[in-house]
Amino acid sequence: MIPVINKEDFEEKLRQELQVEFNVTPIDASDNQIYKALSAVVVELLRAKRRKFRNQTHSAGKKEVYYLSMEFLMGRSLKTSLYNLEINDMVEDILKKWDVNIERIYDYEPDAGLGNGGLGRLAACYLDGLATDGYPAMGYSICYEYGIFKQKIEDGWQTELPDNWLPGGDCWLVPKTDKSIEVHFDGELKEYWDQQYHHVSYVNYNTVVAVPYDMYVPGYDSEGVSVLRLWQAKAPSFDMKMFNQGDYARALGQNTVAQAISKVLYPNDNHLEGKSLRYRQQYFMCAASVGDIVNRHMSVYGTLDNLHEKVAIHINDTHPTLAIPELMRILLDDCGYSWDKSWYIVTNTFAYTNHTVMAEALEKWDVNLVRQITPRIYDIICEINRRYCAELMERLGDGNKVSRMSIVQNNQIHMALLCVCASHSVNGVSKLHSEIIKTDVFNNEYNYTPHKFQNVTNGIAYRRWLLQSNPGLTDLLSETIGDGFKKNAMELSSFVKYENDKKVLDQLAKIKLENKKRFADYVHRNFGVDLNTNAIFDVQVKRLHEYKRQNLNALNIIAEYNALLENPDMEFTPKTYIFAAKAAPGYYLAKQIIKMIWALGEEIRKNPVISKKLQVFFLEDYRVTMSELLMPAAEVSEQISLAGTEASGTGNMKLMLNGALTLGTLDGANVEIKEQVGKDNIFIFGMTTEEVLAKKAQGYRPEEYVNNNEVIRKALAKMYSGINGCTFEEVADTLKFKDPYMVLADFDAYQSAQQYVSECYKDKAKWNKMSLHNIAGAGIFSADRAVDEYAKNIWKLTK
The residues carrying an active-site annotation are 355, 542-543, 548, 650, 654
CB atoms closer than 10 angstroms to residue 613: 22
C-alpha 569: how far from chain center: 44
SS3 264: strand
CB atoms closer than 10 angstroms to residue 518: 14
Cα gap 398→403, rounded to integer Å: 9
Cα angle: 434, vertex 437, 440; to 5 degrees:
140
Angle of helix 502-527 relative to helix 764-776, nearest 10 degrees, comes to 90
For residues 265-297, one letter each, b for 16 or more C-beta atoms within 10 angstroms of the residue's C-beta and e for the rest, the string is: bbbbbbebeeeeebbbbbbbbbbbbbbbbbebb
Cα gap 748→750, rounded to integer Å: 5
Task: For residue 246, give Cα distances in angstroms to 143, 236, 250, 253.
Answer: 33, 19, 9, 13
Confirm if 573 and 523 have CB atoms less than 8 A apart: no
User: Over 740-787, what HEC string results?
Assistant: CCCHHHHHHHHHHHHHHHHHHHHCHHHHHHHHHHHHHCHHHHEHHHHH
Cα gap 720→731, rounded to integer Å: 9
Cα gap 351→356, rounded to integer Å: 16
Residue type, 435: E
C-alpha 270: how far from chain center: 14
Cα gap 482→539, rounded to integer Å: 30
Cα angle: 293, vertex 296, 298; to 5 degrees:
105
